[in-house]
Every structure is written in C-alpha cells, then in structure tokens.
C-alpha cells in the first residue's frame, strides 16, 4: 500500500497539481476578495439608502403634524395631539441624521449609538400611537441588543456576506467552500489525474499488477483528501494575508475571532471551524462515490 501511495504522489506531482493548487488558491481568493470589496461598497450604500428611506417616511409624517398644527380649522385638542406626536417623532429624525453622518464619516461607534437611539425612540413612538412606524418591535429589539453588545465590546459593524476584514472574510470564503457545488467542482478538478489514468493504458497495467484493484483507488482517495485539505489551508492562509494587507472595514474598527456572527449566536471562530468540517465531510464521500462510479464504468467498458 505504501508503494501505491508513493506511486500516486509521483503521478500527482508530475501532473502539475503540486504547484497548481497554490496558484489556484491565490487566484480564487483574489477574485473572491475583489467581489467582497464590491459587496462592502454596495452594502455601505444600502445603509445610506435605508436611512434615507426611513427619513422620507418620517419627514412626511412630521410634515403632516406641522400642517395640522398650522391649520386654523383644526380643533385645539387635535393640534395639541399633533404637537405631542411630533415631539416623539422629531428625535427619531435626529437619530436618523446621526446615522447618516456616521456612515459618511465611517464611524462604527457613532453609527451603533445612533441606531440604538433611533430604535428606542421608534418603539416609544409606536407604543404611544399604537402603530408600527418603521419596523416591527421584535426586529428593533433584537438589533438594539446586538448593537449594544457590539458597542460595549468594541466590535466592528460588518456585513455577514461581504467583508474584507480578515476574520469575516475567512468565514465568508470558507462558507463558500463548504457549499456542495464548490466541493463538487473541487472533486471534478482533483479527479482528473484518476480519470485520465483510468481510461488509458495505465488501467490495464494496474489491473494486472495491483491486487485487489481497490488499493489503487484507496491510494488515489488518500492523496485527493490531502490535496483538498492542502487547498483549504493554502486558500485560507492567502485570504488571511489579503485581509491583513488590503482589507478595509465597512465603517471602522476590526472584528475579533470571538465576536458573534449576527444571526447565529456563535463566534466567528466556531463558525469557521464548522465550515471547514462541513467542506471535508462533503468532499470525502463525494470523491469516494466518484471513484466507485468511474471504476465500475471502466470495468463495464472493458467487459463489453
């Protein structure tokens, strides 16, 4: 078995995979990093658009209150009610203005404080008027708790899908590599040396010299799994270096490994390790199935 493993390593080395994997890792990470940077810029613009949309809704509401107060045909009670409601609405507008200024100045702490203030005042406004102004209270309360934790611990605000910060970028990259389609592409790439050897004269030679023949498949499976693990290691190392040298925050600050990934309740470190495990758990059986299918296909073709 050791001889077969050595034989497969020499075939793998001669095929160019030994240097091709690092090059592929760097190229793919570079492309993913570029797309992430574009996504960061788009998400920053989405924040501004969301703020402006809420501000327009609030401006229309405040405008209606002012019109009611200035209307001589309105009753004194109606005007007093409009003044009371406007007094609750104006601070929300001030908090939205603070949010916009914080995004433009790229300040995470100021943005978090402004969002917390806007959410608190919006909930107070909704409770007083028995209505929903911008978002439901469950969403606002959950966001407020998260942002209070982030503010207290000094965590940066980042999009969960697009970020060029080292920690967040590695989690996003590894999450992509844990997708079945990405693993399937990896299986297809790493199986080229096996498939090309299986359907050439090498198969006849191995069939007569290797008994049982499945040892050859096991040797190839061994190096394929190690190659995928090496690719994960190299690509994550390249991603870490790219984030350290070229990464920019959404607003300001950095994200540590122990920070909580929004919507998961788990740290970035735990999520990253889990995604690596999922990627390996997909690859190992996928490649094994490919070995079985191609082996029986070759035998079937030989018997015809």
3-state secondary structure the chain: CHHHHHHHHHHHHHCCHHHHHHHHHHHHHHHHHHHHHHHHHHHHHHHHHHHHHHHHHHHHHHHHHHHHHHCCCCCHHHHHHHHHHHHHHHHHHHHHHHHHHHHHHCCHHHHHHHHHHHHHHHHHHHHHHCCCCCCCHHHHHHHHHHHHHHHHHCCCCCCCCCCCCHHHHHHHHHHHHCCHHHHHHHHHHHCHHHHHHHCCHHHHHHHHHCCCCHHHHHHHHHHHHHHHHHHHHHHHHHHHHHHHHHCCCCCCCCCCCCCECCCCCCEHHHHHHHHHHHHHHHHHHHHHHHHHHHHHHHHHHHHC
Measure CA of the first residue to CA of the last residue in the chain; give whole Å: 30
Per-residue model confidence (pLDDT) at position 181: 96
Per-residue model confidence (pLDDT) at position 85: 85
Per-residue model confidence (pLDDT) at position 20: 86
Contact 134, 57 (CB under 8 A): yes
Asked, as a colleague might, if the bond just before 212 is cis with ω within 30 of 0, I would say yes
Structure tokens at 97: 């203005």
Q: How far is Cα 287 from Cα 184, in angstroms, rounded to an integer?
A: 9
Contact 238, 26 (CB under 8 A): yes
Per-residue model confidence (pLDDT) at position 79: 82
Exposed, middle or buried by CB within 10 Å (0-12, 13-18, 19+), for 72?
exposed
Q: How far is Cα 20 from Cα 4, in angstroms, rounded to an integer?
A: 22
Contact 210, 216 (CB under 8 A): yes
Q: What are phi and psi of 170, to 5 degrees?
A: -65, -40
Per-residue model confidence (pLDDT) at position 172: 96
Q: Which residues of the chain have pLDDT under 70?
A: 1-15, 73, 134, 197-214, 298-304
């Amino acid at each position: 078995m050791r001889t077969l493993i050595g034989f497969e390593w020499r075939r793998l080395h001669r095929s160019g995979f030994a240097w091709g994997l690092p090059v592929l890792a760097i190229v793919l990470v570079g492309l993913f990093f570029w797309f992430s940077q574009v996504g960061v810029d788009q998400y920053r613009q989405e924040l501004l658009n969301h703020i402006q949309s809420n501000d327009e809704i609030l401006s229309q509401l405040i405008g209606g209150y002012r019109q009611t107060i200035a209307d001589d045909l309105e009753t004194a009670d109606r005007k007093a009610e409009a003044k009371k409601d406007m007094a609750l609405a104006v601070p929300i507008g001030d908090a939205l203005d603070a949010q916009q200024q914080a995004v433009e100045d790229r300040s995470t702490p100021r943005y978090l404080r402004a969002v917390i203030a806007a959410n608190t005042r919006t909930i107070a406004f909704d409770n007083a008027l028995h209505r929903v102004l911008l978002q439901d209270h469950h969403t606002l309360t959950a966001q407020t708790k998260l942002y209070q934790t982030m503010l207290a611990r000094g965590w940066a605000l980042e999009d969960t899908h697009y970020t060029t910060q080292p920690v967040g970028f590695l989690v996003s990259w590894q999450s992509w590599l844990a997708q079945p389609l990405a693993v399937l592409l990896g299986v297809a790439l790493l199986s080229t040396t096996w498939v090309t050897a299986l359907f050439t004269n090498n198969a006849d030679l191995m069939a007569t010299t290797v008994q049982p023949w499945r040892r050859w498949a096991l040797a190839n499976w061994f190096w394929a799994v190690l190659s995928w693990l090496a690719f994960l290691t190299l690509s994550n190392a390249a991603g870490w270096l790219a984030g350290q040298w070229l990464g920019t925050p959404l607003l300001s600050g950095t994200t540590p490994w122990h920070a909580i990934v929004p919507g998961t309740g788990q740290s970035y470190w735990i999520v990253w390790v889990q995604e690596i495990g999922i990627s390996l758990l997909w690859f190992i059986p996928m490649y094994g199935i490919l070995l079985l299918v191609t082996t029986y296909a070759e035998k079937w073709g030989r018997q015809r």
